[in-house]
Amino acid sequence: MHTVNGAAINISGLVKHFRTGTAPLKAVDNVTLEIAAGSMVALTGPSGSGKSTLLHLIGAIEQADAGTIRIDDLKITTLRRAALAAYRRQVGFVFQRFHLLPALTVLDNVIAPVLPYRTRNDHSTRARELLAEVGLTGRERALPAQLSGGQQQRVAIARALMAKPRLLLADEPTGNLDSTTGNQILDLLLRLRDEHQMTIILATHDQRIAARSDRLIRLTDGRIADDLDLTDGEDPTDTLSRATRLRL
């Protein structure tokens, strides 16, 4: 991934089944999709519509049964194990439940995922800078349990940025937060998208959060039911007019 503007994503005929009981279930059912470099795309749709599975396929946490995914020039659906692991390390992930390690300080949580690759001191300067960027200067030595939910998600976001991702995948990042805090997290993601030149794909069932993205893709039963460009001729900060237009 080496564009200056985040990763461009090209998905074609993507299928993922799960075998549960008798009939196989198509969690992702023939999805074809192009995502522009540097955009912020929201995946919405009811629970079980395939949002998380699609993110997992794009992040190479799960393997597709059919179809291709290209991230810039890299076709990740046919990569071998070592190349796949290298790709995965370059993708930032943010989850609903933060997934911080409770016994580690904020600073060590940010450093933890890159620790096997160098020594701790090499990373601590960058980790402190990222914590400052997400507004957590002074909380480096705190434990996760001493932070609010919004602060914990900020730690998780700083951690995701350690690998300098060109692509950030966020699965219901505001799902455990009240709406004010959720909107602040979204402000932060939009700012970081520009500062770090990332493409962001965010799964959310919160329509108001989704409406703040550049593009809203609604999934139903693993298929794209709706695909709306929200950028045309509109002030991106005017969430009220977007919400009205989307009838939220």
Please choose, out of 51-59, 144-152, 182-190, 223-231, the segment that lies near Mg ion by the rule CB under 5 A.
51-59
Nearest CA among 17, 60, 39, 94 for reference residue 227: 39
Binding residue (CB under 6 A) for ligand ADP from 47, 121, 125, 180:
47
Q: Which is nearer to ligand ADP, 128 or 205 (CB)?
A: 205
Regarding 59 and contact with ligand ADP (CB under 6 A), the answer is no
Q: Is 48 in the site for ligand ADP (CB under 6 A)?
A: yes
Report the partner that residue 45 touches, choosing among Mg ion, ligand ADP, none (CB closer than 5 to 8 A by kind): ligand ADP
CB of 175 to Mg ion, least distance (A): 9
- Of the candidate residues 7, 35, 39, 52, the single one contacting ligand ADP (CB under 6 A): 52
Tokens representing 65 are: 């049964």
Q: Is 93 exposed, middle or buried (0-12, 13-18, 19+ CB in 10 A)?
A: buried
Could you say which of ligand ADP, Mg ion, none residue 188 binds, taking C-beta under 5 to 8 angstroms by partner kind? none
Q: Is 79 exposed, middle or buried (0-12, 13-18, 19+ CB in 10 A)?
A: middle
Which helix (H) or strand (E) segment holds residue 109: the answer is: helix 106-111
- Told to check if 96 binds Mg ion by CB under 5 A, we report no
Strand pairing of 24-35 and 9-19? Answer: antiparallel
Bridge partners, 28 (sequence order): 16
Among 39, 44, 49, 52, binds Mg ion (CB under 5 A): 52
Q: Which two tokens stand for residue 48?
A: 């079980």
* Number of residues lying near ligand ADP (CB under 6 A): 12
Nearest to 224 by CA among 3, 44, 95, 77: 44
25 touches ligand ADP by CB under 6 A = yes
Where does this chain bind ligand ADP (CB under 6 A)? 18, 20, 25, 27, 45, 47-53
